[in-house]
Amino acid sequence: MLPRSVGSPYHAGEEARTLSDFVKVVTAGPMFFVSAWVLMIFAGIVDKDVGFRPFGYIAAMLVTIGLWLAVAPAIGAVARVPNVKGRRH
């Protein structure tokens, strides 16, 4: 395999993809806290209709961690599936 030079278009695309992945990881942190806060607010709004007591921020963070751990693998699996609608056989 031939080495790729630093200025090649392939390298620039790879660098942009790496930077994009880094930005996604950095934005996931604040989004976790925002998600926990929104969950806490939502639980306070629907507590009487659903039938449970509203919970605090720490409990909302624990529920958010559980949801993220349950949903993230499914989202990752769906994201890896190639789109075959546009292909003609």
| pTM of this structure | 0.61
49-77 per-position pLDDT tens digit: 988 888 999 999 999 999 989 998 888 88
Mean pLDDT of the region 74-81: 82
First to last CA, the chain: 32
Is the model more confident about 76 or about 13? Answer: 76
Amino acid in position 34: V
DSSP calls for 9-64: HHHHHHHHHHHHHHHHHHHHHHHHHHHHHHHHHHHHHHHHHHT-----HHHHHHHH
- Is residue 84 helix, strand or coil? coil
25-56 per-position pLDDT tens digit: 788 889 999 999 999 999 999 988 988 888 99
- The H-or-E segment that residue 2 falls in is none
State the Cα–Cα distance between residues 6 and 17, nearest whole angstrom.
15
